[in-house]
Amino acid sequence: MSEQERRARAERLRALRDAGLDPFPARLDPVERIAAVRARFDALDTDALAADPAQVAVAGRVMAIRSFGKLVFLTLREDGAELQASARQGELGAPTFERVRALDVGDFVRVEGPVWRTKTNELTVGARRIELLSKSLRPLPEKWHGLQDVEARFRQRYLDLLVNQEVRAGAVRRSRAISAMRGFMDARGFVEVETPVLQPLYGGASARPFVTHYGVYDQDVFLRISDELYLKRLVIGGLDRVYEIGRDFRNEGVSRKHNPEFSMLECYQAFADYRDMMELAQALLQHVVRGVTGGTRVGYRGQEIEFAGEWPRRSMTGAIREATGIDVLAARDFPSLRAAVRGAGLDPGPAPTWGALVDQLFSDHVEPTLVQPTFLVDYPVELSPLAKGAADDPRLVERFELFVGGMELANAFSELNDPEVQRERFEEQRRARAAGFEDAQPLDEDFLVALEHGMPPTGGLGVGVDRLVMVLTDAAHIREVLLFPYMRPESS
């Protein structure tokens, strides 16, 4: 924006105030939604409107101005819907008409008058009364090409929403997806709860936390990385079906699939296991996809994803073996696995532990191939310190992850409810941290005390809301589905 344009708008603002007019009035007379006006009158032709003229009052942001001497057309937008308004000098009087001519794109106005159609059949409100509701001091961008202005789009998201209607549609679709999730869980008898975001000890996932300081208690606390351990406390307390839709925070890198602040749906069901959670996850996502799109097929990154039917189940370790030729269960210690990886002609990279290397192999060679909804089941115990061991193989746990579009969308366990085994797993995590695995989970003594009071057999499920919305909106990057993604500070 040029400084000249900024000064010109400021001068028009001062002129209004000098004339005794309030450019930001506190009161607004009643108006009708623009979408409702269009619904009432779009089907009526010119003759029908002329035979029974109707008076309406609407309000909106001026998105375009076209001036033809003593006639001015305004395009108004309100909540995504647009409607044209006309202003004639003979109908408004010279002083009011001149104020209309002094309007800027971006201003908010209220227009009251009859509905009519122009010669080009454009539905229009003929202004008999028009008033400024809010003056805009900066112009809207005339063109907002995302590929050229990626940084500006995310830093000034309000402008992105204003001029890119597909961005606005994506925000609405996200809202509908979350509403569909909530409706599904409520209908299944789950109770929605809220658990602490600030926690004295983080846990429930393998990730590095954000640390802040609680001044009153002179205590460092953590932004939660997961809702898990508090939701399990509620199951122990007798809330047998609980869920939470909320924000989690992980102090990690940023990529097209990762943002340090993200949304999760996390739920726990007593007297259930991970097989029940598979049924729940499949039914939940199918419900959301139908509710948001009206069908079961979604186009994502040039591929069609079908959510209907029963989703296949594959072994996690078997999928790694098929993709790389490496049997990770046969290479039981870290040096053996690193040797097997090198023997397969692959780079083991910087992974510090056996479990981290298995996860790396899976992420690099299996995950990108899982386009259609697929459950990967039965993970090594080293990767799942909070999951219950498999009955037929002590090396594995009852866990699945759901993959769609080459991304993990959900994670679930048969939850470990043996407090002695859970303590041993926490101790193993402590040793892993000492060996260099910074994301290892800390030992949570308070949670162990709760677990010692008894937790029923329980299934737990977490669904990544942002990634699901990526699939539903065909977004290439997670920032596209976050209204205000965190951005690196601009250099001064």
* DSSP one-letter string for 155-203: HTHHHHHHH-HHHHHHHHHHHHHHHHHHHHHHHTTPEE----SEESS--
Rg (CA), the chain: 29
**Residue 133: C-alpha distances to residues 31, 88, 169, 223, 303 (Å):** 12, 20, 26, 41, 46
Angle between helices 445-452 and 228-236 (to 10 degrees): 20
| Residue ranges, CATH 2.40.50.140, the chain | 3-134
Let me know how long the chain is: 492
* Alpha-carbon gap, residue 431 to 443, rounded angstroms: 11
Determine whether 402 is exposed, middle or buried from the number of CB atoms within 10 Å of its CB (0-12, 13-18, 19+). buried
| Residue ranges, CATH 3.30.930.10, the chain | 157-312+372-481
Beta bridge partners of 244: 266
Q: Domain 157-312+372-481 adopts which CATH fold?
A: BirA Bifunctional Protein; domain 2 (3.30.930)
Looking at residue 387, what DSSP letter applies? B
Q: Hunting for tokens 């296949």 — which residue is that?
A: 312
Domain spanning 3-134, CATH architecture: Beta Barrel (2.40)
DSSP string, 226-240: -SHHHHHHHHHTT--
* Alpha-carbon gap, residue 183 to 409, rounded angstroms: 19
In this prediction, residue 339 carries a pLDDT of 95
Q: Hunting for tokens 């202005």 — which residue is that?
A: 149
Q: 97 in the Ramachandran plot: left (φ > 0), alpha (ψ -120 to 50) or beta?
A: alpha
In this prediction, residue 105 carries a pLDDT of 95
Per-residue pLDDT of the chain (492 residues; tens, 9 = 90+): 578 888 999 999 999 999 999 999 999 999 999 999 999 999 999 999 998 889 999 999 999 999 999 999 999 999 999 999 999 999 999 999 999 999 999 999 999 999 999 999 999 999 999 999 999 999 888 754 443 567 788 888 998 898 888 999 999 999 999 999 999 999 999 999 999 999 999 998 888 999 999 999 999 999 999 999 999 999 999 999 999 999 999 998 889 999 999 999 999 999 999 999 999 999 999 999 999 999 999 999 999 999 999 999 999 999 999 999 999 999 989 999 999 999 999 999 988 888 889 999 999 999 999 999 999 998 988 888 888 989 888 889 999 999 999 999 999 999 999 999 999 988 988 888 887 777 888 889 999 999 999 999 999 999 999 999 999 999 999 999 999 998 888 764
* Alpha-carbon gap, residue 394 to 54, rounded angstroms: 76
End-to-end CA distance of the chain: 19
Identity of the amino acid at 414: S
